[in-house]
Amino acid sequence: MNVKMNKKESKTSLEGFKEDAPEPQGITEDKEQVDNDSNEQTVNRQPSTVNSTTSSKNIMWHEGKVTYEDRCKNLTQNGVVVWFTGLSGSGKSTIAVEVEKELLKQGKAVYRLDGDNVRHGLNSDLGFAKEDRDENIRRIAEVAALFKDAGLITLASFISPFQEMRDFARERAGEDSFIEIYVKADVPTCAERDPKGLYQKAKQGEIDDFTGVSSPYETPETSDVIIDTDKLSIGESVQKILEVIANEQ
Ligand SMILES: Nc1ncnc2c1ncn2[C@@H]1O[C@H](COP(=O)(O)OS(=O)(=O)O)[C@@H](OP(=O)(O)O)[C@H]1O
Ligand SMILES: Nc1ncnc2c1ncn2[C@@H]1O[C@H](COP(=O)(O)OP(=O)(O)O)[C@@H](O)[C@H]1O
Q: Is 215 a catalytic residue?
A: no
Say if residue 144 is exposed, middle or buried (CB neighbours under 10 Å; 0-12, 13-18, 19+).
Answer: buried
* CA–CA separation, 109 and 241 (whole Å): 16
Ligand lying nearest the CA atom of residue 193? 2
pLDDT of amino acid 49:
72
214 marked among binding-site residues: no
pLDDT band, residue 8 (cuts 50/70/90): very low
Which amino acid appears at position 140 of this protein? I
Mean pLDDT for the stretch of residues 211-232: 97
Give the model confidence (pLDDT) of 110-163 as tens digits: 999 998 899 999 999 999 999 999 999 999 999 999 999 999 999 999 999 999
Give yes or no for residue 44 having a pLDDT over 60: no
Kindly give the distance from the C-alpha atom of residue 106 to the centroid of ligand 2, in angstroms, as a whole number: 24
Residue 214 near residue 202, CB atoms below 8 Å: yes
In short, whether 115's Cβ falls inside 6 Å of ligand 2 is: no
Name the phi and psi angles at 111, rounded to 5: -145, 140
Among the atoms of ligand 1, which is closest to the Cα of residue 157? 18
What's the sign of the alpha-carbon dihedral 189, 195, 200, 206? Answer: negative
pLDDT of amino acid 115:
85
Correct CATH for 68-248 of 3.40.50.300, 1.10.530.10, 3.40.1190.10, 3.40.50.970: 3.40.50.300
pLDDT of amino acid 15:
30
